[in-house]
Amino acid sequence: MTTGKQRTIVFDLDGTISDPIVGISRSFNYALAHFGHAPLPEVALLPHIGPPLDDAFRALTGVSSSSAIAAYVAKYRERYSDIGYSENVLYPGIAEALQPLAAAGIPLGICTSKRRDFAQRILDLFQLRSLFRFVDGGDIGIPKWRQIEVLVISGQIGRDSVMVGDRSVDLDAAHRNGLSSGGVLWGYGSRQELEKEHPRYLFSEPCELRILAETGSKEVANHGVHGRHASSPP
């Protein structure tokens, strides 16, 4: 466990570390087909990469019953557990960006809406698990901001930590808990979506993550990444 005095960099997984579109879209359609829905093209599923699965299935099906939504999620996970997780693709440059941060002794963690065991398997797939001091996963009915809240309350991270992700839900989770945030532009959230949350950093490519190694530096806090510091930091 890290201490609250350490500035931890917490990363989202899907759309930030790896591209999950193939496994996620096929698993969504596997579940939808099982319950009599027509398959959806990848483009229709893009907005649902990142947020919790229960929210995604409510939006995709119009179903509101908690038990019915749980059944959709269970069917999705049936395929995802078997093969979907392995259809992830590591973003180019991510391993090369993370390794120096870990080597510098900076505590790194994962906070993802997907189940912890799935996240662990994906990190193992890419031989990245050893870089992270913890992997936090979500489940039905648990928003990401609650996950961050628990990490703060338990002392695993301090409020000087940074949450890095590709969707507004990642940045919102950070800000609700008093953390700084960094948005990545190679994932599934648009620049407009991310800028609405006023992140402290916007990263255009993984190599820019190196700026986070300058822990606590006034230069980082005031200037951000190569001039792409958000105009209204939280």
**Global pTM value:** 0.86
12 is catalytic: yes
pLDDT digit string (tens) for 71-120?
999 999 999 999 999 999 999 999 999 999 999 999 999 999 999 999 99
Q: DSSP 3-state assignment of 152?
A: helix
Which tokens is 8 given? 């931890």
Q: Would you state the pLDDT for residue 179? A: 97
Instruction: Give CA angle at 107 (106, 111), nearest 5°.
Output: 135
Report pLDDT for 6. 60
Q: Which of 12, 19, 54, 166 is catalytic?
A: 12
- In this prediction, residue 214 carries a pLDDT of 77
What pLDDT is attached to residue 50?
Answer: 79
For the record, the structure tokens of 66 come out as 């908690």
Report CA torsion sign: 165, 167, 172, 175: positive
- How many residues appear in the chain? 234
Q: What is the pLDDT of residue 51?
A: 81
Q: How far apart are CA 75 and CA 214, in angstroms?
A: 44
What does each of the 234 residues of the chain score in pLDDT, given as a tens digit?
444 456 899 999 999 999 999 999 999 999 999 999 999 999 999 999 878 899 999 999 999 999 999 999 999 999 999 999 999 999 999 999 999 999 999 999 999 999 999 999 999 999 999 999 999 999 888 999 999 999 999 999 999 999 999 999 999 999 999 999 999 999 999 999 999 999 999 999 999 999 998 754 333 333 344 334 443 333
**φ/ψ (deg, to 5) at 203:** -105, 125
Amino acid at 58: R
* pLDDT the model gives residue 71: 97
Domains of the chain listed by start with CATH number: 9-19+89-223 (3.40.50.1000), 21-87 (1.10.150.240)
Tokens 């995604």 belong to residue: 56
The predicted pLDDT at position 21 comes to: 95
CA distance 234 to 228: 15
Give dist(CA 104, CA 135) in Å, integer: 19
